Amino acid sequence: MTKKIILTGDRPTGKLHLGHFVGSLKSRVELQSSHDQYVMVADVQALTDYFENPQKVVDNVWEIVADYISVGIDPQLTTIFIQSQIPALGELTTYYMNLVSISRLERNPTVKAEIAQKGFGESVPTGFFCYPISQAADITAFKAELVPVGEDQLPMIELSNEIVRKFNRLYNTDCLKEAKPHLSNVGRLVGIDGKAKAGKSLNNAIFLNDSPEIIKQKVYSMFTDPDHLKATDPGKIEGNVVFAYLDAFHEDKEEVSSLKKQYVKGGLGDTVLKSLLNETLQKILFPIREKRESLVKQDLIECCFLSTQKAKSVAQKTLDEVKHAMGVDFFGKKPSNSSFM
Ligand code: TRP
């Protein structure tokens, strides 16, 4: 039986944190043996809003690759590759741009929110505005059947599938495949300050390579229930970051639920909870940090080079089919070296 194809990726704009760990990294590790998995470092996409600071993107490429391998994404099982090194992705994007209207792009709720958040105003760069099309190229180039993502990425997969249907219909082919999203069953992890999102740029996340001291410090600074002043006071679970993290990371769900009951009733102090969470997180992050410290950058580069070559040829094959479907393959499969006429 052939394995189902997975494609997913991250923008290299910062180190990965616990939000990524529960949201995507864990499921990549679980899926990699049973699937043909591609994980892409989306540096081209990152440059659509970091074009003034490419060095930041470049530096984070290797950070992210190191994060991947540290959490157990195995380069023998998963093809880890770098987006900018795959020319076919740019070419596919060019052809797909013909199939998407500007008003369709304007309706993308994720892009809309990002435009507001980044304060582009009237000067939204075209590259940024069109990144959902380039993301469709990423997905379709590998004929991905499953795309593990967070909820905010659903509009991208929807657009990608629209492009697939339109392309196949227009050019009377079935070379492009529709993809299904694969949502992790854990919702988005809140920031340690209680903000809706743990973010690289918001500085409210616990990073995979934070030191034990920093982890502890972050756990003890977590937002709980501001009205829970004494241990004997009844406390609130909702909006309480420590419980959100215990829910996401503590293995013993029964223990967490009995702690919640106790907290609501009163008689359970924040420090007891924080110390339990600290212990839980230290246990998870210790082997990841150890593995990361053992990695040698040159090995990462060599390993990524080989897998990027593989990704390059897979994407090229799809591009060849796409061009063939449109009839723009003037020289057939491969021009030979013999004289032209
Ligand atoms: N947009 C994704 C993010 O911000 C990254 C990404 C780029 C991606 N191309 C992709 C994810 C293709 C899934 C499939 O996290």
- 181 and 58 both lie in a single domain: yes
Task: Please give the number of the atom of ligand 1 that sits closest to the Cα of 45.
Answer: 7
Residue 172 lies in a domain: yes
* Cα(264) to centroid(ligand 1), Å: 39
Residue 168 lies in a domain: yes
- 73 and 131 both lie in a single domain: yes
Of 5, 40, 61, 164, best ligand 1 pocket probe by most atoms within 8 Å of the beta carbon: 40
- 62 and 166 both lie in a single domain: yes
Residues 6+ apart with CB under 8 A from 121: none
CATH of the domain at 17: 3.40.50.620
- 271 and 319 both lie in a single domain: no
pTM for the model: 0.91
Q: Whose CA is nearest to atom 8 of ligand 1?
A: 9
Residue 174 lies in a domain: yes
The 10 Å CB-count burial string (b at 16+, else e) for 263-301 is: beeeebebeebbebbbebbeebbeebbeebeeeeeeebe
- 51 and 175 both lie in a single domain: yes
- The dihedral over CA atoms of 43, 45, 47, 48, expressed in degrees to the nearest 10, equals 180
Number of separate domains in the chain:
2
- 236 and 100 both lie in a single domain: no
- 108 φ/ψ sector (left φ>0, alpha ψ -120 to 50, else beta): beta
Tens digits of residue pLDDT in 33-75: 999 999 999 999 999 999 999 999 999 999 999 999 999 999 9
CATH of the domain at 236: 1.10.240.10
- 286 and 301 both lie in a single domain: no
Residue 206 lies in a domain: no
Q: Do residues 290 and 263 touch, judged by C-beta distance below 8 A?
A: no
- 237 and 173 both lie in a single domain: no
Interatomic CA distance for residues 119 and 227, integer angstroms: 35
Tens digits of residue pLDDT in 153-194: 999 999 999 999 999 999 999 999 999 999 876 677 899 998
* Cα(5) to centroid(ligand 1), Å: 16
Question: Does pLDDT of 199 surpass 90?
Answer: no
Residue 198 lies in a domain: no
Phi, psi at 9, each rounded to 5°: -170, 175
**Domain extent for 54:** 5-189+297-326
pLDDT of residue 183: 86
Give the model's confidence band at 332: pLDDT under 50 very low, under 70 low, under 90 confident, else very high.
Answer: confident
- 241 and 146 both lie in a single domain: no
